[in-house]
Structure 1
Amino acid sequence: MTEIVLFHSVLGLRPGVLRTAERWRAAGHVVHVPDLYGGAVFDDYDEAFEFLGKLGGQTELARRTEAAVDGVRPDVVYAGFSNGVISVVQLVTSRPGARGALAFHGSVPVRAVGAELWPSAVPVQVHEAELDPFRENDANREFAETVAASGASYHYFSYPGVAAHLFADPSLTGEYAPDAAELLHGRALEFIAACEDRGR
Structure 2
Amino acid sequence: MAEVLLYHHIQGLTDGVRAFADDLRQAGHTVHTPDLFDGRTFAGIEEGFAFVREQGLDAIRERGAAAADGLRPELVYAGFSFGVTFAQRLAQTRPGARGALFVDSCLPVTEFGEAWPEGVPVQIHGKEGDEFFDEDLPAARELAGATAAAELFVYPGDGHLFADSSLAAYDPEASRLLLERVRAFLTSV
Q: Give how far 1:143 is off.
A: 4.5
Normalised by the size of structure 2, how large is the TM-score? Answer: 0.94
Indicate conservation of the 8 Å contact 1:5/1:31, yes or no: yes
1:166 paired with 2:165, answer: no
Specify the alignment match of 2:152 in structure 1: 156
- The percent identity for this pair of structures is 43
* CA distance in 2: counterparts of 1:143 and 1:20, whole angstroms: 22
**Root-mean-square deviation (Å):** 1.5
1:108 paired with 2:110, answer: no
Normalised by the size of structure 1, how large is the TM-score? Answer: 0.89
Any stretches of 5+ residues in structure 1 without a counterpart? 196-200
Indicate conservation of the 8 Å contact 2:143/2:150, yes or no: no
* CA distance in 2: counterparts of 1:64 and 1:148, whole angstroms: 32
Q: Give how far 1:12 is off.
A: 0.5
2:117 is paired with a residue whose SS is coil
Map 1:31-180 to 2 at 5 A.
31-57=31-57, 59-112=58-111, 114-137=112-135, 139-146=136-143, 148-149=145-146, 151-160=147-156, 162-172=157-167, 174-180=168-174
* CA distance in 1: counterparts of 2:144 and 2:154, whole angstroms: 18
Count of residue pairs the alignment pairs up:
189
1:5 is paired with a residue whose SS is strand
2:16 is paired with a residue whose SS is helix
Cα displacement string for residues 21-42 of structure 1 (whole angstroms, at most 9, x for unaligned residues): 1111111111110111111101
Indicate conservation of the 8 Å contact 1:109/1:140, yes or no: no
* CA distance in 2: counterparts of 1:163 and 1:111, whole angstroms: 27
2:132 is paired with a residue whose SS is coil
Specify the alignment match of 1:198 in structure 2: none
